[in-house]
Amino acid sequence: MQKIWNLRKYDPKLVNKIKDTYKISDIMAKLLISRNIEFDDIDEFLNGNLEDLKDPYKIKDMDKLVDRIDKAITNKEKICIYGDYDVDGITSITIMYQFLTKLGADVMYYLPDRLLEGYGINNNALDEIKNLGVTLVITVDCGITAIDEVEHAKEIGLDICITDHHECAEKLPNAIAIVNPKRKDDTYSFKFLAGVGVAFKTICAVAKKYSLPEKEYMRFLDIVSIGTISDIVPLIGENRIISKFGLKMMVHTENIGLKALIRLVNSKEIDSMMVSFGMAPRINACGRMGNASAAVKLLLEKDENMAEQIALELDNLNQERKNVESVIFDEAIKIIKEKQLDKKNSIVLYNSSWHNGVIGIVASRLVNLYYKPVILLTKEHGIIRGSGRCPSGFSIYDALTDCKDYIVQFGGHELAAGLSILEENIDGFIDAFDNACQKRVGAISEQIINVDAQIERKDLNAQIIKDIRAMKPYGQSNQVPVFLYKGVKVSAIRTIKDEKHLKLVLKDDRSLIDAVGFSMGVRRDEIRIGDKIDVVGTIELNTYNTPKTIQFVLQDFKKSVD
């Protein structure tokens, strides 16, 4: 599919107003506008601090939740923190468990086995928890769709309080408290907290009730930032503040397990990219390949040697996950080609032997390849479970809502969702989902590269690197800036790393600029030395060279049109 370059247009008056008011560069002003940062919010975006975090009690039901926690602590009730097996859920459990334990609460945690139990609350787990003497269950990063399970909990004498951040249906569970900013009746102004962000807000509220010093809850920001960045929520507003200060705290973290993980990842810089591509896959690996409790144990570990062992275990599981993922991806590609599924509005594949913990990652890779909604289904213990992903601009949650007659259960976000269906409904679901996607095909008909600004050789200097760093941390709704550079001559071409990547030297007048296109080796023959090309991509400082040089990281290129 031909990629469309969408170069952002700017009102020169607004650009100059922002430049003059905030004393920043022309490019920085354009980057702020392209991210839809309102004029009055620019200072908070650039200079926001922990004092800008909002009052947790403005989230609906927070007072009810805090009162129930207080009652449990006072009466020495046993509390269970019930979470999800991904990074968001694991970090949520970690901070809630550590905080309540320090308050003297009798706390345990429960992580469902992804392969045996699937996502969310289940009745067998509630029965087991009840038999352990628990009277209060607090969910983190799950529970918003657990209507029947909450009723079961009431029947067996369990109180449930829900903290979650997933999309809410019209009917909510009949829980003691439901703390979720996405509730339709919640007026909290920031709707995009991760599950760990909601858990953090709960901790802040409890600390406020007990008049605890700020350090007693802010010390968890390093862990909160990992869950926030990993869950791909918009890194704006409170999420930006949490991530920015959490990453700074991570440099000198006091968490023994986190230290071991950072050493294992061995990144040159602790930033959102390191979390997304270094930490998150390893933390996620144990949940994907089995039970996620090892990751929680790592983040709760006090012994350095044991932390090192657990971190290595996660690393080995992540390598195993990669191997399984590669096999499923190859099998999926073969099916798509044989059945020409790439010509449909969506791609839904079923294989009873696929690993449920990995199909979501493979679905993401297929979305990047075919740029359309993808759902992979597998069978576990007689249940058909699925994981779906879709391109930006499309809501897979809304599409699944249209197919609810074929689905036993589903939940998630706009871009990612999980579901379970009956085996006899697979064919009907595939047709219904494709029809739902057809109605929304306009949102994904073209693969668009949004370009923040056009630059020239004079812009490739220390200031642009400074501006790019000032916009960190990067993530959803604040992507790494993409630039257009037109009319540069190809001075050298080669492929590297087994011909996988493309390496170019570009010439503008007398200046030479290095450029690299990752996974673009197959496009080597599209250009020749001496060709003039236009390129779009990101800009980084190449620290492998001495001295350090600016490098263009290609997202796409095409021959210049004079």
Going by pLDDT thresholds of 50, 70 and 90, the confidence category of residue 31 is very high
> For residue 281, is the peptide bond before it cis, meaning its omega torsion is within 30 degrees of 0?
no
Query: Quick one: pLDDT at residue 320?
Result: 93
pLDDT at residue 133 greater than cutoff 80: yes
How buried is residue 133: exposed, middle or buried, by Cβ count under 10 Å (0-12/13-18/19+)?
Answer: exposed
Average pLDDT, the chain: 93
pLDDT at residue 242 greater than cutoff 90: yes
Going by pLDDT thresholds of 50, 70 and 90, the confidence category of residue 444 is low
Comparing C-alpha atoms, which of 151, 184, 146, 148 is closest to residue 162?
Answer: 146
Query: Quick one: pLDDT at residue 446?
Result: 67
Q: Which two tokens stand for residue 195?
A: 């599950």
pLDDT at residue 248 greater than cutoff 70: yes
pLDDT at residue 378 greater than cutoff 70: yes
Query: Quick one: pLDDT at residue 3?
Result: 83
pLDDT at residue 1 greater than cutoff 60: no
pLDDT at residue 490 greater than cutoff 80: yes
Mean pLDDT lowest among 77-81, 246-250, 437-441: 437-441
Give CA–CA dist 78/124, Å, rounded: 18
Task: Tell me the CATH architecture of domain 340-443.
Answer: Roll (3.10)
Give CA–CA dist 47/35, Å, rounded: 16
Positive/negative CA dihedral, 354, 358, 359, 362: negative
- The pLDDT of 33-51, averaged and rounded, is 93
Residue-by-residue DSSP string for 420-448: EE-GGGHHHHHHHHHHHHHHTGGGSSS-E
Give CA–CA dist 532/528, Å, rounded: 9
Report domain extents, the chain.
4-47+448-559, 52-313, 340-443
Cα angle value 90/93/98 (rounded, 5°): 125
pLDDT at residue 342 greater than cutoff 70: yes
Give CA–CA dist 39/37, Å, rounded: 6
Going by pLDDT thresholds of 50, 70 and 90, the confidence category of residue 2 is low
Query: Quick one: pLDDT at residue 545?
Result: 63
Going by pLDDT thresholds of 50, 70 and 90, the confidence category of residue 117 is confident
Share of the chain above pLDDT 70, in %: 98
Going by pLDDT thresholds of 50, 70 and 90, the confidence category of residue 546 is low
- The pLDDT of 467-477, averaged and rounded, is 93
pLDDT at residue 20 greater than cutoff 80: yes
User: 392 or 49: whose pLDDT is higher?
Assistant: 49
Q: Which of 113-127, 255-269, 288-302, 535-549 has the highest mean pLDDT?
A: 255-269
How buried is residue 26: exposed, middle or buried, by Cβ count under 10 Å (0-12/13-18/19+)?
Answer: middle
Q: pTM of the full predicted structure?
A: 0.86
Identity at 128, one-letter amino acid code: E
Give CA–CA dist 162/147, Å, rounded: 11
Query: Quick one: pLDDT at residue 144?
Result: 94
- The pLDDT of 515-524, averaged and rounded, is 90
Comparing C-alpha atoms, which of 166, 137, 170, 169 is closest to residue 152?
Answer: 137
Give CA–CA dist 97/108, Å, rounded: 7
User: 201 or 520: whose pLDDT is higher?
Assistant: 201
Query: Quick one: pLDDT at residue 195?
Result: 97
Give CA–CA dist 142/297, Å, rounded: 20
The Cα-based distances of 400 to 92, 216, 444, 552 in angstroms read: 27, 41, 16, 39
Query: Quick one: pLDDT at residue 42?
Result: 94
| CATH for the 52-313 domain, from 3.90.1640.30, 3.10.20.310, 1.20.1090.10, 3.10.100.10 | 3.90.1640.30
Pairing of β 177-179 and β 532-542: unpaired
Name the CA radius of gyration of the chain, rounded. Answer: 25
Give CA–CA dist 363/333, Å, rounded: 11
Instruction: Determine the topology of domain 4-47+448-559 in CATH.
Output: OB fold (Dihydrolipoamide Acetyltransferase, E2P) (2.40.50)
Give CA–CA dist 514/516, Å, rounded: 7
Residue 403 makes CB contacts below 8 A (sequence gap 6+) with 429, 432, 433, 436
Residue 442 makes CB contacts below 8 A (sequence gap 6+) with none
pLDDT at residue 441 greater than cutoff 80: no
Going by pLDDT thresholds of 50, 70 and 90, the confidence category of residue 48 is very high
pLDDT at residue 543 greater than cutoff 90: no
CA end-to-end distance (rounded Å), the chain:
24
- Helix ranges (DSSP H) in 75-138: 87-102, 123-131
Same topology between domain 52-313 and domain 340-443: no
Query: Quick one: pLDDT at residue 287?
Result: 82
